Structure 1
């Protein structure tokens, strides 16, 4: 399989999406991909962050994770985006990153890449699928190739989301089955990107 570049770009307030992103990075690496794990900038005001001790602590704990930039999108053959749900939509922090990509889109530099998404919500029916579908709207505009996990691995029948890996944060940290689902999704993304890259060559 051709080596491909996979960027995993995520926003995490209290650590759930960070854990899923790490699992996705591992899965992509297992598929032979070069991986960049990147967090988007925190845009919430300090008083809001500091009002939640777990939020503030996670921000400190992940200070060494490189911040996402447009160069990561240009470098990547495939991109997985991770975000918590916010009323059935991606978090504003991730949207701010995406909304600044207009110049790249206008030049066609985001087209023909593989895209996928994963998420978490506080409750079992808190908008996980609609959040992933909302991100897909962006991928359509970019001219991307959307690759969901589907039910392409036995773990998907246990994790239950063919749209993208997802977790109910109110139940605690992601369990092993959820992490396996995130890893499978990233492997599938990397493998698909490799096939496309080889075919184009």
Structure 2
């Protein structure tokens, strides 16, 4: 019997900030003993929009090796972490479009009791981080999933300051996630794996 928790880290990132958080989540989950799939969602923006932003262009080229998320990744996973930059306090359209394709899994109850959590980044402080995480979490309610937030369950959270999920202010891509944000993402992912393991009685603690 496979004893590993399956974790899908699915994200959208235009210039790489959320990607760095997603990589940190995937690494932490793997170190916690999980099988991990790191997946990006399909880019919806036209090529000319991407080409007009050098950071966007560079990030697209640098992440060509990352597979595009599919519904199979959700069905396979015991735990799911979704990440997106904020767009007016909401998740990016690219992640939302992927979420909107999950109807067949939802209708069959295949997402019930998945362990779920979310993370984000914004260009400015108070730029909609918490509302973006809460908006993503609305999906989990409809799926019948179990939301695991980091809370203040670890000392790093008193530095990170966001009990809803890891967040970062990137200021137009000029500031990558630092030690605090990466440590908060590490804790959040490990907490997700731990709760998923505890809720699967066939897995050893």
TM-score, reference length from structure 2: 0.95
- Long gaps (5+) in structure 1: none
Deviation string, structure 1 residues 78-112 (Cα, Å, up to 9, x no partner): 00000000000000000000001101100001111
Separation in structure 1 between the aligned mates of residue 143 and residue 202 of structure 2, nearest angstrom: 21
Separation in structure 2 between the aligned mates of residue 47 and residue 98 of structure 1, nearest angstrom: 25
Corresponding residue number in structure 1 for 2:199? 196
Corresponding residue number in structure 2 for 1:184? 187
Separation in structure 2 between the aligned mates of residue 3 and residue 200 of structure 1, nearest angstrom: 7
Please list, as runs of the form range in 1=range in 2, the aligned pairs for 1:46-195 lying within 5 A after superposition. Answer: 46-170=47-171, 172-195=175-198
* Higher relative contact order, structure no. (Cα contacts within 8 Å, ≥ 6 residues apart): 1
Deviation string, structure 1 residues 101-153 (Cα, Å, up to 9, x no partner): 10110000111100000000000010000000001111000000000000011
Q: Contact 2:9 / 2:36 at 8 angstroms: preserved in 1?
A: yes
Indicate the structure with greater helix content: 1
- Long gaps (5+) in structure 2: none
When the two structures are aligned, how many residues end up with a matched partner? 200
Q: SS in structure 1 opposite 2:156?
A: helix
What's the RMSD between the two structures over aligned residues?
1.3
Which stretch of the first structure deviates more once superposed, 90-99 or 168-177?
A: 168-177
List structure 1 segments (4+ residues) > 4 angstroms apart after TM superposition: none
